[in-house]
Amino acid sequence: MYSVYIIYSQKIDKYYIGFSSNVQDRLIKHNRNSKGFTSAGKPWILVYKEAFDNKKDAMARENQLKKWKNRDRLETLIKSGSEHPD
């Protein structure tokens, strides 16, 4: 099982969209000292996730969400989505 997830950083007021087979483990890695986009935004919090049966579908959904490039649309999904973080 794979999940598409959205995490949020209040520090930089940004969202990050990704996918993983273990969202909780991936969130821990985002909040560790690592390089890349998420390093500047710690702490990140999980605000949304969707489950998928396979990696291909999760990757397709991740790409779809990243193409939106519209914060309002993303926040509407987060607020009214059928999947909620644990």
Q: How does pLDDT run across 26-54, given as a tens digit for each residue? A: 999 999 977 888 999 999 999 999 999 99
pTM above 0.85, yes or no: yes
pLDDT at residue 69, rounded to an integer: 86
- In the chain, the domains with their CATH numbers are 2-80 (3.40.1440.10)
Among 52, 79, 10, residue whose Cα is nearest residue 18: 52
CA quadruple 78, 64, 52, 3: dihedral, nearest 10: -60
The answer on pLDDT for 15 being more than 80 is yes
